[in-house]
Structure formats: C-alpha cells, structure tokens
Chain A
Amino acid sequence: QQQVKQSPQSLIVQKGGIPIINCAYENTAFDYFPWYQQFPGKGPALLIAIRPDVSEKKEGRFTISFNKSAKQFSLHIMDSQPGDSATYFCAASKGGADGLTFGKGTHLIIQP
C-alpha cells in the first residue's frame, strides 16, 4: 500500500514557467512533509518542508502549499530554470525514528 502518492511521474516546462508537483497522503498521523531534490547519481537533498499547522511555506523560488482537509500538498517552483531539472520527491513522517515515507518521484525537465 502506497501511503504517499505523487504526480505527475514526469513533467516538462519551459524556462520561467511554474511547474507544480502534487502529493496526496492517507495516514492522518503524518505531521511533517518535506520535499527532496535529486540530481542524477547523487543523494537526495532537502529542499523545503512544512507542518500541517500552516497552509503555505515559501523559501526562495520554492513554495509548498498544504491542504490538510484534502490530505494533499504540492510544490511550486517559481521562475523555473534549466538548473532546476532534477527528480523531486515528496515525503511524509509521523515522527519517531522510523523515517520518511516517500512518493515515487517526479522527473522534471526545464527547457531553455
């Protein structure tokens, strides 16, 4: 059973556009929702994270929107650049030591 569903699987956007990646979760015990960025052959790096007590969080060009009632959250990348081309993973945690549950990832290509 996949507890975090991520879409789309792949996405192509023109430079300057705003790619949006969506995730939905089922477990209401989740209370921490990070996004990771991964370049080919590298480990994932934390991009931005949110807790369900806020509906939006912005860090630079990256914004998380969170809808607690719908159990959905999304990543928006403003003014996207070719250097943003990477695989993006959403994840969720219910605290404790047992780690994160990841979505399957979105392969994003920003065309110049």
Chain B
Amino acid sequence: SQTIHQWPATLVQPVGSPLSLECTVEGTSNPNLYWYRQAAGRGLQLLFYSVGIGQISSEVPQNLSASRPQDRQFILSSKKLLLSDSGFYLCAWTHRYGRAFAQETQYFGPGTRLLVL
C-alpha cells in the first residue's frame, strides 16, 4: 500500500530564516505531487504541483519554491521566511496513470505545522 511521509511534523522558525520541508511517497511510482498550505478558516491553497522529476508548476507567486529531485520526493523551500508563511503545509499525491478516478483522487500526508516568529 502507498504511504506518504512529511517532516518535520512541527517547526518554529524566526523571520528571515531558511525553510526546507520534505515529502516522500512510498509504494507507488511516477506520482503527481502537490504542496498545499492551509491557513485557519481559509481552506487549502494549492502552492505547487509536479508531474515528474524536475518539473514544477507554481500556482501562487510567493516567498516559496519547490523542487523534485527524485521521483517520490518533493521539497518545499524558502530562502527567507516571512510571518505570513506560518500555516499548516500539506503534501499530497495522485496516481499519474490508470482509471480516471485513481488519477484524480488525492491522498494527503500528515502535514507540517510551521510557525514563523
């Protein structure tokens, strides 16, 4: 079965410090990968998605970047954190091939809670 991991689970960082959040998926190959941010009362905002190694699409221009160095690894980064970067960051994956429902069903990781002070 497939499993998605995120770390760290929680993180407290000062303003202006760098950020690196990691997401890995086990038990599947060639997944589409996604980064979302969830702020209180605002639902889930798609930040980046990737359909393959080195392929990144950005949905919202901001202080963050993403990279996909390996097929099942997705990294969210920032060079200098802002207070507004605080939130709950979720990684998700979907099947890239197969029946349509399988391709569209997103499975979420446990999330990383980031607090920027």
Q: At the interface, yes or no: A60 with Cβ under 8 Å from chain B?
A: no
B interface size (C-beta, 8 A):
27
Least CB separation from B32: chain A residue: A97
Let me know if A41 and B111 touch, CB within 8 A: yes
Binds A, one of B14-22, B60-68, B75-83, B98-106: B98-106
Chain B residues near A (Cβ < 8 Å):
32, 34, 41-44, 46, 49, 51, 57, 59, 90, 92, 94, 96, 100-101, 103-111, 113
CA distance A42 to B113 in the complex (A): 10
Binds B, one of A13-21, A43-51, A61-69, A78-86: A43-51
Contacts of B59 in A (CB 8 A): 98-99
Contacts of A32 in B (CB 8 A): 100-101, 104
**Known pairs A34-B105, A42-B111; A97 contacts B51 (CB<8 A):** yes
Let me know if A49 and B49 touch, CB within 8 A: no
Q: At the interface, yes or no: A73 with Cβ under 8 Å from chain B?
A: no
Let me know if A102 and B43 touch, CB within 8 A: yes
Q: What's the minimum C-beta distance from B97 to chain A, rounded to whole angstroms?
A: 12
Contacts of A98 in B (CB 8 A): 46, 49, 57, 59
Contacts of B92 in A (CB 8 A): 43, 99
